[in-house]
Structures are given as C-alpha cells and as structure tokens.
Amino acid sequence: MVRIALDAMGGDHGVSVVVPAACAYVASNPAVELILVGQEDVIKAAMPTGCKRIRIHHASEVVGMDELPSQALRRKKDSSMRVAIDLVKSGEADACVSAGNTGALMATARFVLKMLPHVDRPAIITALPNTKSHTWMLDLGANVDSSASHLYQFAVMGVEQVAALDGNTSPTVGLLNIGEEEIKGNEQVKKAHELLSGSDLNYVGYVEGDNIYDGSVDLVVADGFVGNVALKASEGVAKMISHYLKAGFKQSLFSKMAALLAMPILKSFGKRIDPRSYNGANLLGLNGIVIKSHGGADELSFGNAIKIADKAVHTDIPRRIEKKVEAHLLPGSEA
C-alpha cells in the first residue's frame, strides 16, 4: 500500500480542491492510501461520504501563499505543509503533495528531509507537452545563479527522473542556451557544456527556447531563473492564444455557429496540451518525495500531482538519484 500525505490547506483553493481530488484518486487506485493533513473540522466539512482509505491528520496552522519561506519555516511548525513533510520524514507517508507556496515548500522540505548525499541544491522538474509527446525540464525556479557543476548535477538527476518515470534509460539531454553570442552563452553554460560533453550521459549539446516544445530532446537543463521565466512566458503565450481564439469565436452569429462545430476539435486539442495534465513537479535531490502542485490547480490537475507522487514512490526516485549522483561525481567533489 502506497501512503501519500496531502497538504489539504495549500494552494489557492485548499480543501475544496484537495479533498475531492483525494476521494477521486483513491476510488480509482485501490493500492493507495491518502492522508489529508490540515484543520480537521475544515477537512471534515469538505469530505463527501463514502471516501475510503483516506484519513485525516490534524495540523492547526496554514502557510499563506505569500508568506516568506523563512517565516513559514520558523514560526509555523504545525502547518499542514510542515506536518505533511514531517510524515514523510517519520516514515508514516511515502511521499507528500502540496499546492502551497513553492519557496516555503522547498525551504521546509530541505530543512526536514535534508538533501541526498553529494547533492548541492534541489531542483524542480516537470514534464511539458511537445509536438511528439513531452519534454522534461529542470530547474524551474529552485535556484538562481547556478554554477556549471550545479547544471551538471541537474542533468544527472533529471536523467534519472526520466529513466524512472518514462522507462527511457538513456534520455537525450540538451543544455538551454541562446544562439546569438559569438561563443554562445554565459560562462556557467559554457563550462557546463564541457562537463556534460565529457560525461556518459546522452548529451546532445545546446538547445534553444523553441526546442523545449519541438521534441528535439527528452530533457532540457537550465538555471532556475531562466527555466522559470521560460515556463511562465510559455504559460502567458498559451493564455493569450486561448484568449484570442475565444474572442474570435464569439464575434458574430456565424462564428458562434462555427464554434459549435469546432468545439470537439478544440477540446481534444486542448486536452493534448492541457497544463493540468502536466501538473505535479518533483523536488529532486531531497531525501524524500515531495511533489509541488500548481497553486491554482483544480481537481483534475491536483489528481495528476497525486499520480506523479504515486509513480515516484513506485520507482523509488530518491534512492535511484542517490546512486546516480554518486556514480557521476565530478573530480574534486567531496567523497
């Protein structure tokens, strides 16, 4: 039985999304037990009757979406987020999922669970749709000013994540760069390129922003500042396109009729690139499984984050990453 702790109070919608998503997940996954962490009375009020294999673990406090990570860490020791992570630490849960404040989740998880041996920094990884299937990308915002050896380590951890979750044992790896400079990119990227070129990873070289979505590589490696901006810019473009599509189909009676006919196609297309199907980012490098859901996640979307946690438990990601990192230490790294 896989046991996953859910931060029931986290995200923009709290229990109104987490509780129904949990009930739906256990209903279709008989080998999973979920622990709803948060204010007992609030959770109970949101709980439909007949949910099986779900129990409530009371936690009195809630971390706000804009709360400073250091304050959440110091002052809110009985928050739903903290207690969900504590359950992973104590072994009562195999993984946890939170839609709360990313900074607080990262800081708390790092403090409670610690990093794996030899891992310098955690990194956030997720899958994004591409024209063929999907592309994995990290780091999505855990780090800024990543050094060459950090980027190298992100690649090592990312490769293991792809191997574990997709069964693709030698995924192609690209390093995110720009094509405009004479000797491309900045110093860190150039040095990371050398490290990766000399490794046994299936490194294919530099990729540019558009290659995230064209299926050129299985895994894209970037500094967290760059990766986060790329991700958010992509979300922005997709929203803008959807805005103009909707506006176009509402313009006239004719276009409204066309919309009726086009709707099934647009819907199936939307499903294909629906960010909700890609919700659930793994915080790699921690000694435990922590999945970050998008703050604005709805029920379907949060369910996907639970699925990612479930898969991560089955494939024992942290142990696999520990071994992979140990086998890929750079000369000069501590033994």
What residues does 123 pair with on adjacent strands? 284
Q: Which is nearer to its own copies, 198 or 248 (CB)?
A: 248
Residues 182-201: x where in contact with its own copies by CB under 8 A, - otherwise, as a string: x--xxx--------------
Nearer to its own copies, 118 or 134 (CB): 134
253 binds its own copies (CB under 8 A): no
CA atoms of 285 and 282, how far apart (whole Å) = 9
Question: Measured at the alpha carbon of residue 114, what is the angle toward residues 108 and 117, in degrees to the nearest 5?
Answer: 155
Q: How far is the CB of 106 from its own copies (least distance, A)?
A: 8
| Helices 317-326/299-315 angle, 10° precision | 50
Residue 178 binding its own copies, by CB under 8 A? yes
Question: Measuring CA to CA, which residue among 61, 81, 69, 64 is closest to residue 107?
Answer: 69
CB of 116 to its own copies, least distance (A): 21
Question: Smallest distance from the beta carbon of 73 to its own copies, in angstroms?
Answer: 10
* Distance in angstroms (rounded) separating the CA atoms of residues 33 and 70: 31
Residue 251 makes contact with its own copies by CB under 8 A? yes
> Between helices 299-315 and 15-28, what is the axis angle to 10°?
50
**Helices 299-315 and 148-166, packing angle to 10 deg:** 90
Shortest CB 264 distance to its own copies, Å: 8
Beta carbon nearer to its own copies, 37 or 107: 107
Instruction: Report the alpha-carbon distance of residue 228 to residue 142 in Å, rounded.
Output: 9
Binding mask 41-70 for its own copies (x = CB under 8 A): ---------------------------xxx
> Which listed residue (255, 314, 319, 333) binds its own copies by CB under 8 A?
255
Report the C-alpha gap between 125 and 224 in whole angstroms. Answer: 10
Q: How many residues bind its own copies (CB under 8 A)?
A: 68
Identity of the residue, 111 or 314, whose beta carbon is nearer to its own copies in the bound complex: 111
Q: Is 263 helix (H, G, I), strand (E, B) or coil?
A: helix
56 vs 284 by CB, closer to its own copies: 284
Q: Which is nearer to its own copies, 68 or 329 (CB)?
A: 68
Least distance (Å) between residue 165 CB and its own copies: 21
Structure tokens at 29: 């996954």
Among 20, 38, 224, 318, binds its own copies (CB under 8 A): 224
Measured distance between the N- and C-terminal CA atoms of the chain, rounded to whole angstroms? 36
Cβ-based nearer residue to its own copies, 89 or 225:
225
Query: Is residue 204 part of the contact set for its own copies (CB under 8 A)?
Result: no
Q: Find the binder of its own copies among 31, 117, 194, 269 (CB under 8 A).
A: 269
- Helical H segments across the chain, by residue range: 15-28, 40-46, 69-75, 80-90, 102-113, 148-166, 187-197, 224-249, 253-273, 299-315, 317-326
Q: Would you say 301 and 293 are in contact if contact means Cβ atoms under 8 Å apart?
A: yes
Nearest residue (CB) to its own copies, 60 versus 131: 131
Segment 14-33, which members bind its own copies (CB under 8 A)? Answer: none
As a whole number of angstroms, the distance between CA 75 and CA 78 comes to 9
- Smallest gap from Cβ 64 to its own copies, in A, equals 14
Binding positions for its own copies, rule: CB under 8 A: 68-70, 102-103, 106-107, 129-131, 141-142, 144-145, 176, 178-182, 185-187, 208-214, 222, 224-226, 228-241, 243-245, 247-249, 251, 255, 257-259, 261-262, 264-266, 268-269, 272-273
